[in-house]
Structure 1
Amino acid sequence: MLIFIGLGLFDERDISIKGLETVKSADRVFLEAYTSRLMGAGTAKLEEYYGKEITVLYRENVENNPEEILLAAESGTAAFLTAGDPMVSTTHSDLRIRAEERGIKTGIIHGASIQSAVCGLSGLQNYRFGKSCSVPYPEKGWFPLTPAETIMSNMKQGLHTLVYLDIKPDRFMTVNEGIEIITEMCKRREEEPPELFVGIARAGSENPAVRAGKGSDLISYDFGGPLQILIVPAELHMMEEEYLKVFAGL
């Protein structure tokens, strides 16, 4: 059996009781470590808390060569761990389909997701979010503009945009960098950049940072350590505006 288990937002304690019990009883435990991270707990800390040896997986292991996972699920119970919720944003639908096609029973134990956490931290209403997007680090000869297109399309429809910030093995994009890149994208599209942004850092921790304001102000604000995420709001409802004033310094 292959069971997808969401670990929640920040550290080893965010896993549900059901998830923890399943991990402890599993024959093999895998941790997907390329779409997101638990910044409050490394692999060693997870192993100590769960009492299990963990095999860390990267994109190549999951998307291109998942045989080790599938073989473990065929011969016993394999737990596949992800930060957040395993089927929200960092979706692993392809792996679940492959397992089912091989006759392997699958299951999901959900975890807290950044998609719901940002609503609680920012006060922006969840049903007012449109299509999300990801902002990658630009590379030589490559500067995609699609994220700006998504943001502008959402704003025209009165919808907020959740912007996922790039994660590299050696660095994590900050809110400040995200605002800079989005602003440059808009300039290249010959459009005015968004006026208002909401930056969030370390959701799920005891000291999350939440700050709303103009891009020109937030670009120099110190959000502290990772992980960070960005929201580009559309026109605010009066309750959303009041919430941001009280809890995010708007």
Structure 2
Amino acid sequence: MLTFIGLGLFDEQDISLKGLQAVQAADLVYLEFYTSYLMGTTIEKMEELYGKQIIRLMREDVEQNPEWLENAKTQNVVFLTGGDTMASTTHVDLRIRAKDMGIETRLIHGASITSAVFGLSGLQNYRFGKSVSIPFPYVSSRGNRVVTETPYDTIKFNLENGLHTLVFLDINSEHGYMTVQEALSLLLEVEEKRQEGIMEYQIAIGIARAGSDTVSVKADFANNIDAFDLGEPLQILIIPGKLHFIEAEALVKLAGAPNRLLEDFE
């Protein structure tokens, strides 16, 4: 048996009771922290609460050589991830591999940032379009700094259709955790290059440390980058499309957006 368990948003206490019971009943407990990370905890704290040794897997252990899957043929194995299980294509692929090996699987879900943002921002979940990720710039083979324009195009498409965009921010070993300020700077850099006016007078919403006691939610105009100093990671960005009155009111009263956001509804 292989049980996939989502750990939730922030620390070791976010695991569900059902998930905790499954961990405590397991023979082997594996964890991957490269697709998501619980900023409020450590593996040592998790082991203390769960009462189990946790074996951390690297990317190659999950995506390339998941030899540990063999253990699930004869033992009760748990696979832990931040957020909700199956939120990443990598995890779906792993479940398919297990199925092909004749291993029974089950899912125990956890809180996910993709659902938490609705409550934190006050935006309505059915008004979101396609989500997108912003990567850090990279250096091409010719030595040029390259900023990908795909996120800009996705936001443009959603805005043209009145839809909100959830923007995931890059995490990598070289640059660390991308901030909302860095993400907005990259979008504005593309805007300056293309001069399409997508980000001009555009409201943005930054959220940091969802699930913690120090969660920060801030709404302001995207070009007012200084307003989005949200502190520690993890952070996520929303570019809202056409707003319903309740959404606009929530952004003003709950996220500190400028009052002028309500002028269109007066």
Q: TM-score, normalised by structure 2?
A: 0.90
Please give the alpha-carbon distance, in whole angstroms, between the structure 2 residues aligned to 1:187 and 1:128: 28
Contact 2:129 / 2:164 at 8 angstroms: preserved in 1?
yes
233-242 or 179-188, larger mean C-alpha shift: 179-188
1:134 to partner: Cα distance: 0.4
211-220 or 92-101, larger mean C-alpha shift: 211-220
- The amino acid across from 2:101 in the alignment is R
| Structure 2: 5+ residue stretches without partners | 141-145, 258-266
Contact 1:32 / 1:58 at 8 angstroms: preserved in 2?
yes
Cα deviation digits, residues 45-103 of structure 1 (max 9, x gap): 111111111111222111111111x1121120111101100112465110000000110
Which residue of structure 1 lines up, in the alignment, with residue 235 of structure 2? 228
Cα deviation digits, residues 170-214 of structure 1 (max 9, x gap): 611011001001111233344224211000000000120000011
1:173 to 164, 175, 178: 178
Which residue of structure 2 lines up, in the alignment, with residue 43 of structure 1? 43
Which residue of structure 2 lines up, in the alignment, with residue 212 of structure 1? 219
Which residue of structure 2 lines up, in the alignment, with residue 75 of structure 1? 74
| Residue-pair matches, total | 249
Which residue of structure 1 lines up, in the alignment, with residue 246 of structure 2? 239
194-203 or 166-175, larger mean C-alpha shift: 166-175
- Give runs of aligned pairs for residues 174-213 of structure 1, distance below 5 A: 174-194=179-199, 195-213=202-220
1:154 to 129, 139, 158: 158
Query: For residues 221 and 144 of structure 1, do their structure 2 counterparts lie closer, same or farther at Cα, with a shift above 3 Å needed?
Result: closer
Which residue of structure 2 lines up, in the alignment, with residue 111 of structure 1? 110
Alignment identity in percent?
55
Which residue of structure 2 lines up, in the alignment, with residue 88 of structure 1? 87
1:61 aligns with 2:65: no
Cα deviation digits, residues 98-124 of structure 1 (max 9, x gap): 000110000000000101100000000
Report the structure number with the largest CA radius of gyration: 2
Over aligned residue pairs, what C-alpha RMSD do you find? 1.3
Please give the alpha-carbon distance, in whole angstroms, between the structure 2 residues aligned to 1:222 and 1:154: 26
- The amino acid across from 1:177 in the alignment is E
- The amino acid across from 1:3 in the alignment is T
- The amino acid across from 1:52 in the alignment is K
Q: TM-score, normalised by structure 1?
A: 0.96
| Structure 1: 5+ residue stretches without partners | none
219-228 or 99-108, larger mean C-alpha shift: 219-228
Contact 1:37 / 1:83 at 8 angstroms: preserved in 2?
yes
- The amino acid across from 1:78 in the alignment is V
Which residue of structure 2 lines up, in the alignment, with residue 123 of structure 1? 122
Please give the alpha-carbon distance, in whole angstroms, between the structure 2 residues aligned to 1:82 and 1:48: 17
SS in 2 for 1:152: helix
- The amino acid across from 2:2 in the alignment is L
Contact 2:206 / 2:238 at 8 angstroms: preserved in 1?
yes
129-138 or 72-81, larger mean C-alpha shift: 72-81
